Every structure is written in structure tokens, then in C-alpha cells.
Amino acid sequence: MMARSKPGANRWVEKDAWVMLMRSPSDSMFCRSACLIYWTPEQLECRSVTGVLSNKHRSLGQTQARPAMTPEKLNVLKAVFHVYMGENTPADVADKRVKSVRRHLAQKSGDVQRKYVP
């Protein structure tokens, strides 16, 4: 069975994956899991959340930033995050939690980019 992730998203999510997302124990785990629906690990590795060169990489001599994540997909992920939070979440709390979505995605992107040495 398939469940529609969000009207207008043009993205279908398997029912089991949808249930797993909605049962995520934290906002961070939700965002990290949900981003893999919209971007592959290879895409996450070569993209940044904002598309802006960080001060760290600028000081290391890099001159070009990685391309930003697709804004449409980012907006859809935030819309699905609103579904995850539920309708009973107070507006001020919901706004604060939605603002942390980009931070969670940046952390996931960093995890994918990190080279693991056995």
C-alpha cells in the first residue's frame, strides 16, 4: 500500500515508511529519515542546505559552494514535518521546531559527507 506524503508533493511514500516516519522519537530522527525520501545519499553528499560557502571552507581556500538543496523538496519536507508535529502543537512551538529542520538536514548532510575510516 502507498500513502500520499502531502498533497501536491508528487511524491509517494510506502505505507511502512510513512508509519516509521510518524513514529520517529525526535524531530532530528524524523528529519534525517525523511530527507532520504527526497534526496539520495549521493545527492546529499554533493549539496548543502543553503548553497552558501561556509566560513570554515572559505578559510580552507575553497571558492565554490555546493549547490543548495531543491527548495521545492525542502518545502515539501517541512510540510510533512507539520503533519508529524500534529495539529495540537502551539504555533510558537511549531515555528521553533520548523526552524530547526534546516539544522537537522545540515547534520545529516555532514554525516553523509564524513569519510569513515575503519
- The CATH number of whichever domain residue 95 belongs to comes to 1.10.10.2590
pLDDT score for 5: 45
17 has pLDDT over 90: no
What digits encode the pLDDT tens for the residues 23-56? 999 999 999 999 998 899 999 988 999 999 889 8
In a domain, 35, yes or no: yes
In a domain, 79, yes or no: yes
Give the DSSP letter string of the chain.
-EEESSTT---EEEHHHHHHHHT-SSHHHHHHHHHHHHS-HHHHHT-BSS----HHHHHTT---PPPBPPHHHHHHHHHHHHHHH-TTS-HHHHHHHHHTHHHHHHHHHHHHHSPP--
How many domains is the chain partitioned into structurally?
1
